[in-house]
Every structure is written in C-alpha cells, then in structure tokens.
A = this chain, B = another copy of it.
Amino acid sequence: MSDPTTDTPRRSETKHRAILEAAARCVGRDGYAATSIEAVAAEAGVGKQTIYRWWPSKPALFVEVYSALVNRTLLSPDGAMAAAPPGRPVSELLRRLFGLYRSTPAGSILAGLIGAAAEDAQTRAAVRDGLVLGRRSILLDRIRGAAPAGTDRSRMEHVNDLIVSMIWQRLIMAPEDLTDSFADELAQLVDTVGHAR
C-alpha cells in the first residue's frame, strides 16, 4: 500500500510519516468514524489531495496506519521476544495485542475498518489483503508451537479462525472487555479444540 521503494518517485517520506501519525492522533482524539480525511490533512499540515494522491480512500489509509502501529509496537521494538516468545506463546501474544488496543488507537481503527468492510466491497478487499492474510502467520505460528504434536494444519487454522473471530466480535461490541483473562480464555481454545477426539 505504500512501499517507499515501489511508490512513484518524489514522494516525500516525511509527509508520509506525518500523515500516518496525524491519522493515529485524530482517531485517538475523535474515534475512527468521526475522523475525516479533511481533519487528518489539517492535523498533518498537508493538503487533502496529498492524501488522496497516495491512498484511494479513508479505509485504505487506515489499513496502513493500523499496520504501522502494530508493526512498530508489537513486533519491531524487541524483535527478540517476537522471535522467541516465552512459555505460553498464544496467551502472551494476545495479551500484548490487547494491551496495544488499550494504549493506542489501533483497536478503534481495526473496529472501524471491520465496520467499513461490512459496508463496502473495496474496503473488504483492502482489509482482507492488508490485515487478514498478511498477518495470519503471526498467530498461526504460535498456535503451531502450542498445539499438541500431530495436530494437523487445518485444525490449527480452524483454531486461528475461532480466535480471530472472537477478538473481532469483542472489538466491535465490547472493546473494553479485551482483557488479559479473555486472552487466556482464547488461548485455551488451542488445547480444547486441538485435543478434541
């Protein structure tokens, strides 16, 4: 969506970052739905057209904002942990994710994107490509690590779907309930479903 090496020349990386950060700030302040492109442009000190030049729509922009937030906070800073998580890797990952949703606008953004996806096919595609498919392995790898030996791949994917669905549902209907204990409850599913039969 904005690979700096792929984008046309002359794009200012400074502006790019300023826009992403302004967008995050706006959502943090006003919420996803109440954030207009105009507001983001003003907040970033940028013309509206500069946003539309690089992103086709508000959801497309925020798919990238969400990615940036998650990448920066969840993965990059201590890549060590990401590479070698402690004993209960699924629960650990979810706790970190929910903490991110509490401390940054990422949760609001994701909820808003899911909402927008429900209403518009193009957004649906952007969300699927940008958020679902590209990030699937992050959780799936940990499920694989935690599942009993011999669990087949499709069952692990099934568990993955269950966990993601539950998170999405809560993100939309009761974001304040994305607690650590809910993370543990979801992590349980790996065993419950993995061991079944």
Contacts and interface: CB of A to CB of B under 8 A. Distances in A.
A115 B33 CA distance: 11
Given A173-B132, A193-B193, A118 B112 contact: yes
Chain A residues touching B, majority SS: helix
30 contacts: A31-B119, A32-B119, A33-B120, A111-B118, A111-B119, A112-B118, A114-B114, A114-B115, A115-B115, A115-B116, A115-B117, A116-B119, A117-B172, A117-B173, A118-B118, A118-B171, A127-B173, A161-B166, A161-B169, A162-B165, A162-B166, A164-B169, A168-B172, A169-B169, A191-B196, A192-B193, A192-B196, A192-B197, A195-B196, A195-B197
A139 to B, nearest CB: 14
Nearest to A110: B118
Number of identical monomers bound together in the oligomeric complex = 4
A20 B192 CA distance: 43
Interface of A: 31-33, 111-112, 114-120, 124, 127-128, 132, 161-162, 164-166, 168-169, 171-173, 191-193, 195-197
Contacts of A32: 118-119
Given A161-B169, A195-B197, 11 more contacts: A31-B119, A111-B118, A114-B115, A115-B115, A115-B119, A117-B172, A124-B172, A124-B173, A127-B173, A192-B197, A193-B193
A33 B172 CA distance: 18
